[in-house]
Amino acid sequence: MNSKRYFFTMMTAICLIGLMACAHPGDIPTQEETKGALAEAKIEFDSADEASLLVISPVEKQVLSLKDFRVGKGQNRILIVGVQVEEGGAQNVGDMVISGITCGDQTLSLISGSEVQLSSMWRGKEYFLKVAVYYLINPPSGEHDITVTFAGPVTSANVGAISLSNVKQATPVNLVTNKQGQQKKIITSFTTRSDGAWVVDIVGGGHKSKLRSKTKDHIRRFNAQEKSGGKSSLLGGTLLVPTAGKVSLHWAQSMRKINRLAQVAVEIMRYE
């Protein structure tokens, strides 16, 4: 090695050592900071499941349970639970009130503005349908029963749950609702506010359904079909929206029209 090359190599080494020595400990990302950066990357799907109220008309029930719902161990979790309930006669509407929802020993909260109700006539009697969406921040990992209790016995009901991780630990506030009667489809426009957010939407119907999403990348996560009492339905889907903006949530089927349809869509923001 000639003297010039040796001198250059030594000077480079000295500079590098000097830079390392001068580096402040706070400039080096800790394990927790690295983990947090990874968590910001994207929302992760954990699990989904559904259950229906098992009744044989004219018998009614007041409690609906989704057994052994599994919540994973991912960080910054959220549990979204949609409920659909049906009852006949205005005098029985009070029974449709949701007294409470629990996951294990923890109580879920109603997402403000997410309750949608409508009615229609059939054979001279008015039938009511309601859909509502509840949430729990950081639900416990493991298997837990999700229990829905109504104010009184009801004719028909379904529940569906979706758990996600890497989610902002705050109450979801951006939502939109829609309701229609005698349709084979329901289409709802929604504008997200945050890049990388997910839209979770819940659709309840007064008939059993075969609704499928017509929106690209919109995934149906559960599909509850109550077959004994009112033959109603509840489905839930998720849609990743990489860049904040307007999307269309389009569900449709080719079979008969559904007498009552109600939809709730909620923005779930990623953890930052």
pLDDT band (50, 70, 90) for residue 226: confident
**Amino acid 230: pLDDT:** 64
Distances (CA, A) of 212 to 26, 175, 239, 265: 51, 21, 14, 16
For 9-74, give the secondary structure using H, E and C. HHHHHHHHHHHHHHCCHHHCCCHHHHHHHHHHCCCEEEEEEEEECCCCCCCCEEEEEEEEEEECCC
Strand spans (E) along 138-218: 142-154, 156-165, 175-183, 185-191, 197-205, 212-213
CA neighbours closer than 13 Å in the CB half-sphere of residue 209? 32
242 pLDDT higher than 70: yes
Q: What is the pLDDT of residue 13?
A: 46
Q: Is 165 left (phi over 0), alpha (psi -120 to 50) or beta?
A: beta
Domains contained in the chain, number: 1
Q: What Å distances lie between residue 260 and 69, 96, 161, 203, CA to CA?
A: 28, 16, 21, 10
In a domain, 84, yes or no: yes
Give the residue-averaged pLDDT of 81-100.
96
Residue at 7 is within a domain = no
Classify residue 19: in a domain, yes or no: no
Question: How far apart, in whole angstroms, are the C-alpha atoms of residue 50 and residue 204?
Answer: 13
Residue 229 has a pLDDT of: 60
Average pLDDT for the chain? 88
- Residue 170: what are its φ and ψ, rounded to 5°? -155, 160
Output the pTM of the full model: 0.85
Distance CA 243, CA 237 (A): 19
| 199 domain residue, yes or no | yes
By C-alpha distance, which of 234, 257, 193 is closest to 64?
234
- Residue 75: which domain range? 43-268
Does residue 223 sit within a domain? yes
Note whether residue 15 is domain-resident.
no
Lowest mean pLDDT among 56-70, 127-141, 146-160, 200-214: 56-70
Average pLDDT estimate for 170-199: 97
pLDDT in tens, 154-170: 999 999 999 999 999 99
Q: Is the Cβ–Cβ distance between 130 and 190 less than 8 Å?
A: no
Q: Is the pLDDT of residue 25 over 50?
A: no
Residue 34 lies in a domain: no
Lowest pLDDT segment from 10-24, 40-54, 97-111, 226-240: 10-24
**What gap in Å lies between CA 202 and CA 226, rounded to an integer?**
16
Q: What is the pLDDT of residue 40?
A: 55
Percentage of the chain with pLDDT > 70?
83
Is 9 inside any structural domain?
no
Is residue 37 predicted with pLDDT exceeding 50?
A: no
**Mean local confidence (pLDDT), 53-62:** 81
Specify the long-range contacts of residues 90-93, CB closer than 8 Å, at least 24 apart: 90/126, 90/128, 92/128, 92/152, 92/154, 93/128
* pLDDT over threshold 90, residue 5: no
- Please compute the mean of the pLDDT values over residues 242-259 and round it to a whole number: 95
